[in-house]
Structure 1
Amino acid sequence: MAARKRRSRKLLLRRIGLGLAGLLALSVVLVLILRWVDPPASAFMMQRWISAHFEPGDPPYIFHEWVDWAVIPGPVKLAVIAAEDQRFPGHGGFDTIEIERAWQRFRAGERLRGASTISQQTAKNLFLWSGRDPIRKGLEVWFTLLIETLWPKERILEVYLNIAQLSPNTFGVGAASWRYFDRPVMALGASDAALIAAVLPNPNIYRLETPSATVKRRAGWIRRQMAQLGGVSYLDKL
């Protein structure tokens, strides 16, 4: 009886191991495909689309329009880097400097703040769900490593710019440019780009349709950071 139980346990562990290996292999294949194939939606978009069906209001529930890398103006790309992740060209997915600073501030008594990079946010928004549970964080690390390994920096930023949430129902700079600036993304200037980047920390509170004083101040700070980074020539580092 004991020997049978041991064999059953080994068989179960083997099946679990094979299942996990299969899932890991599938995730690698999926990320590799998405290096060239534009994702039609993200996990966050799907979550929002489902939840919107249980809220008052009429369709469309999601505004999204994919725009290719070549169409997105340099100031839009630079503004997001300046606002969210200024070491994006050089890190491998995780900004150890910001992580250390966040930890030091936490030890000094401040609230623990995230230090997510553009790569981490892309992985989370594209593949995962919102929340801070350990499983999701572990998967975020895995998918971040995958996209940093299998995608060039330009592709990571292109996907992020197309799936980032910019209002409760708006995802990506393509849809945001039409909804809030009434023109295609290729016609956006540096001031528009800074406003878009300014709402990224919390698009449910910071709004593009009625920019608050806080959003305008943040947009001004982003413009200054764009200049300090050297302008759009900074994108040559990608």
Structure 2
Amino acid sequence: MSIVRNLLIILVTIFLLFNTYVYGSLLTYRAVAPHRTMFMLLRMHQLATTHPNTQLNYQWVAYNRISPNLKKALIASEDARFAEHDGFDWNGIRTAIKKNQHQGRIKAGGSTISQQLAKNLFLSESRHYWRKAEEAVITSLLEATTNKDRIFALYLNVIEWGYGVFGAEAASKTIYGRTAMQLSAQQAAKLAVRVPRPLYYIDHPHDQEIHRKANVILRRMGSAQLPDNDR
């Protein structure tokens, strides 16, 4: 029993220390851009083996230097209720649980923008249940410490869009040769399509799914609800 008790004490201590670090980092990120995220570090380590010439392309830009087209496209494609929920879309989570139970593994995530940001900042892309549980803890801390505008600014600046390409500015320049502020509605919709599978779409740039899904996103962008301070 003492071994089990000691193990539990160690695990609880690790959990508390990690989440203390997360909390402190989130307070910092309210005003300071992340130098690197955990997901960036893990991805670049992976690419060092599979694509050794890949360089990190991460360029932070202010929230007001990102086109409203891209903001609306990502709300429309990733999290239509972002401006309203507390970090969790419970309807989406219930749907994802049903899909996962049917398939016998974690396939669908039902992740909101806040949950995706929590993963990108501090976690790996693993789909284990313990990782999803920690993601939920971080998401709650994120929503408690950070306003929606800042959450969205962080998200837009750190998510992956290609091999070593992170953030809206780097993605816009790499894929379209223009800044994130200059994106048209069509370009923004196509960038939004890439978010769930960024490396796949870099390898398959002519996949017809890009055009089909972009058209769906374009139709939804008109009703996309941005955070209060950005309407």
C-alpha distance in structure 1 between counterparts of 2:19 and 2:104, whole Å: 37
Counterpart of 2:122 in structure 1 is 127
* Structure 2 counterparts to residues 205-216 of structure 1, below 5 A: 205-207=200-202, 210-216=205-211
C-alpha distance in structure 2 between counterparts of 1:218 and 1:178, whole Å: 22
2:109 to 101, 111, 114: 114
2:33 to 27, 31, 38: 38
1:55 to 46, 50, 53: 50
Matched, 1:96 2:77: no
C-alpha distance in structure 2 between counterparts of 1:67 and 1:200, whole Å: 18
Matched, 1:235 2:230: no
CA shift at 1:42, angstroms?
A: 1.2
Counterpart of 1:194 in structure 2 is 189
Counterpart of 2:131 in structure 1 is 136
On the 8 A contact 1:195/1:208 being kept in 2, the answer is: no
The TM-score normalised by the length of structure 2 is 0.87
The TM-score normalised by the length of structure 1 is 0.84
Deviations 1:142-166 (A, max 9, x none): 1111111101011111111111111
Pair 1:18–1:90, CA change in 2 (3 A): same
One-letter identity of the residue aligned with 2:60: W
RMSD: 2.8
Identical-residue share of aligned pairs (%): 32
Listed as ranges, the gaps of 5+ residues in structure 2 are none
Listed as ranges, the gaps of 5+ residues in structure 1 are none
Counterpart of 2:81 in structure 1 is 87
Counterpart secondary structure, 1:90: coil
CA shift at 1:54, angstroms?
A: 2.1
CA shift at 1:11, angstroms?
A: 8.2
Counterpart of 1:78 in structure 2 is 72
Computing the radius of gyration from Cα coordinates, the structure with the larger value is 1
CA shift at 1:196, angstroms?
A: 0.5
Counterpart secondary structure, 1:195: helix
1:169 to 149, 164, 172: 164
C-alpha distance in structure 2 between counterparts of 1:19 and 1:149, whole Å: 22
CA shift at 1:30, angstroms?
A: 1.5
Point out which structure has higher relative CO (alpha carbons under 8 A, 6+ apart): 2
CA shift at 1:25, angstroms?
A: 2.5
C-alpha distance in structure 1 between counterparts of 2:202 and 2:216, whole Å: 17
One-letter identity of the residue aligned with 1:53: A
